[in-house]
Structure 1
Amino acid sequence: MGIDLHFTKGQGTGNDFVLFTDADGEIDLTPTQIASLCDRHFGIGADGLIRAVKSTMIAEGARSLDEDAAAEWFMDYHNADGSPAEMCGNGIRVYAKYLLENGLAELEQGDTLVIGTRSGVVDVQRNLTGFQADLGRWRLDGGEPLVRAKNLQVARPGLGINVGNPHVVVALADEAELETADLTFIPHVEPEPVEGANVEFVVPLEPLVRNGVGHIRMRVHERGSGETLSCGTGAVAAALAIRYWAGAGAPNQWRVEVPGGAVGVRMYATEDGEHVALSGPAELVFQGDVTLD
């Protein structure tokens, strides 16, 4: 028998997702089924798939509830190739929009929606651009892995940054070089990260800082999805890397331009260390029904 699935297509700065509700955790899609849904030629087409499931109904959700009992909903996210992923910065904003629009959660101005993910609990609030997600503490993995990308003549050093999922950020000389990189091919990172990594290529804009806000431009190759129009956690990693390289005096607020638009990144101190927040739009594009073998 086939699986009848009612889905919603959503996007945040061009990073697009297939979303569906499975509150009781009864629909267990295979990686092949997920990949077929995300296929842009033979399926719906998306950078990833998000299942809305109650935290009590998924094993990873128990850890979220231990962290915060308010994390009623879990974002069960998979990349376009069907592989599970820890977090998705654009995806969590779209997921919040999906929960609200479908009456699964409520979020008044100034309140917080608590969502469980594989990288921990994420707090989401409304703001002027759409939603802001507190991605929590970040970690500098450091090192100088060498990154090779097609059409870039020499390998470049990268910087490892973890914001709940792994990233390697590479600074390029100028925007022309950024456009030259062919990210239809997977960048080669040496040494290769054990769990893979998203790879961001970034250039500072001129001037770098305007009115206390840093401005950068980025392209990304996402682990398990290929080049995407945007990557929320990648934008956060890129801003953190540029701030790290810029040194003392660099701002804690950034605007990151991606092919699909722009997102905001903010770093701020908390009692348990520095947190980083991502803000930007979220849109639900259309709904439909599909039957899977």
Structure 2
Amino acid sequence: MALPWLNDQLAALKPKAIDDFSRTTITGAQHALADVANPLRLNFFSTAMRILFEHMMGTLAPVDQVVQTEWFVSEREGNAPTRGQRIVFAIQGGLSDEFVKDTLQIDIAPIRQRLIKAVDNLSKHVHGREDAIIEGHDEQDTAASGTIEALGNFLDTYHECRSTILNAIQQELDDAAVDTLLSDTILEVDELATHHSVEEVYVGDTSVRSIGAHFITYRATGSVAIGLQWGSNSDLRRGDGAEADLSFPFYCDIQVSLDDPLNMAFSATNYSVDVSSWRDGMGPDDDDL
């Protein structure tokens, strides 16, 4: 693999990466740096890291979303967002600069500037020219380390923004998920038996699913304990009915307006309960096939 300290830097990016493809590109960068006999080692590393950056921008900062934000101001012809604006959106979405800086206490400006500089350098190495190739190992390692650090700072800030706003509204989100499942008829469960009742809702994890141009969407996941009854109460007393207590996993998406991102008063919820374990268990046994 790459030199140990560079490899450690790259390996530290993987847990922060946004998806499997991002981790694949980081692995590619590790293999590129490991080829110390290749005079174009830095160029191939830069190609992998440029692919990583472009993938993250495409996933986290779609152009059509960036231009819809309240803070977007066109800075170039065609109304296309700049690289810096897409980096900002990838971190904070449509959240206002004031909210991010004053409420979340996060300063994005230096992160944006370092990443822009790093990507500019990547582009130079990706489109290598005869008089711009860096062949010295020490110089290659220094350039690679700076790029890794800039991308690491970006990913740290991306996660910090989401964890900070999540912590500020965690209890309200948990309560909203519980209230939704307790107050609504759960259609997936309603189809399983004559009657059902929600006995308990357990929220195991809550995360920021996305920060868009106008809304932030949280996802709460957990399990819901359900009491199922087949037949009427009279059927049960006669021994003709049946009851069962089961637990099913659920997710609940909670959408909050960025106009007031810590106010749940006008939030919207959408949820689903996975009853596939029950349906699979009710299928025919192998012996019956």
User: What TM-score bracket applies, with the shorter chain setting the length?
Assistant: under 0.3
Judging by fraction of residues, say which structure has more helix.
2
Judging by fraction of residues, say which structure has more strand.
1
Between Structure 1 and Structure 2, whose CA radius of gyration is higher? Answer: 2
